[in-house]
Amino acid sequence: MESSETHVPFLVRDCALSAFSAGLRAQNLRELRDRLTEVSTDSIYYHFWGSRLHPGFEHPEYPNMFAAWVHRSLHDHRLGERLGILDPTAVPDLEALRQELIETIEQRLDETELVAWSAPDDQFYFLRSRLVVFDTPRTIAHPRALVEVLPVLSASSIFYHFIDARMRLPGLDDFRAWLLAYGDEFVGLVEALSEVDLFFVPLAELRQTLVSVVSTYFTEHSGPEA
């Protein structure tokens, strides 16, 4: 039986990512390494996560902009692959991610004497970002309603609540934080959502995975609502 206790509804928000120049650029691998030591962490955030909000992001093979540039512009496919498998969810924060990037590039520099250069018009331009968040008229009154609401949420809402939330709620996202307010009632769903891969897939695929996880959970835990 579900609890009759009154809970705060989930307020659905949306977002847009505004990008602007960080004033730094690189034309070869050494310059990329050097710039990474000084660029702000919100630039690293943008180049790892910002592509999720770009319509052109379709392939998880090079899921961050550093890997894609190294592969496309420096033609260093080995390093592109190494950078492409860096998982920002596997490190505690953006500073740790910065160090992973630098160490991976330095290892590659130690392996080769030839440092490739990009064309002058194809340099890596470091960008910074600012997330603009706004309310929507949609609310979710009860966790069961996630089954109907998740499929119609915008990709940017999914980004805000399931990805960006982890910058605000270390180790959690907005959905799981809301579910935990119900105590142990939805602990199984919280655990299932914690297993979802959120980095190596496009947002549309991530949304479909969330729909599947939530639908499966409530199918297996059917019962009368409070």
Burial class (CB in 10 A: 0-12, 13-18, 19+), 55: exposed
CB 124 within 8 A of CB 43: no
Coil, strand or helix at 168:
helix
pLDDT per position in the chain (226 positions), as tens? 444 467 899 999 999 988 999 999 999 999 999 999 999 999 999 999 987 887 555 456 788 999 999 999 999 999 999 999 999 999 999 999 999 999 999 999 999 888 889 999 999 999 998 899 999 999 999 999 999 999 999 999 999 999 999 988 888 999 999 999 999 999 999 999 999 998 888 888 999 999 999 999 999 987 544 3
Residue 162, token pair as written in the block: 């399931």
| Residue 129: its H or E element | strand 124-140
**Count of residues making up the chain:** 226
Question: What pTM does this model have?
Answer: 0.87
Predicted pLDDT of residue 59? 54
CA 134 to chain centre: 19
pLDDT for 16-71, tens place per residue?
988 999 999 999 999 999 999 999 999 999 999 987 887 555 456 788 999 999 99
